[in-house]
Structure 1
Amino acid sequence: MAKKKKKDTDPKVHEDLKGFKMDINSFGEISSSFSIDKINEFLNKNVEDKKLKDRDDLDTDEGKKE
């Protein structure tokens, strides 16, 4: 049985996340090429929060896609 060779190509990512790399070292610590603030900003802009979508007390459209 032949073994499959692993491709060394980068995965397809959103345009705003070009160059994003994430590694886990031998101690289990996660390191990233982007800051946590930049990742959170991207997620707030592009992902709807399921827990907050049906709340009536929120006036802002922060979590909604445009």
Structure 2
Amino acid sequence: MPKKMKKKGKPIVHEELEGFDIKVNEFGQIQGNFEIEELNDFLDKNVADKKLNKSEEE
């Protein structure tokens, strides 16, 4: 099985998340340079919650 090639350069991101960086440290903790509240606000505005949509239809 071939090894996965590492991607070079920066990924394309939404303009509101420009500069967002996230890493997992040696203890398995997620570390990022944005506050959780900022990320949650962005996700609330831009991503539809599938579970909420199903419950509203029923």
Contiguous gaps of at least 5 residues in structure 2: none
The alpha-carbon distance between structure 1 residues 5 and 41, as it changes in their structure 2 partners (threshold 3 A), is closer
Which one has the bigger helix percentage? 2
What stretches of structure 1 move > 6 A for 4+ residues in a row?
Answer: none
How large is the RMSD of aligned CA atoms in angstroms? 1.8
**TM-score, with normalisation over the residues of structure 2?**
0.78
Which structure is higher in RCO with an 8 Å CA cutoff and minimum separation 6? 1
How many residue pairs get matched?
52
Does residue 26 of structure 1 match 2:7?
A: no
% same residue: 50
Query: Highest Rg: 1 or 2?
Result: 1
Contiguous gaps of at least 5 residues in structure 1: 57-66
The alpha-carbon distance between structure 1 residues 13 and 5, as it changes in their structure 2 partners (threshold 3 A), is closer
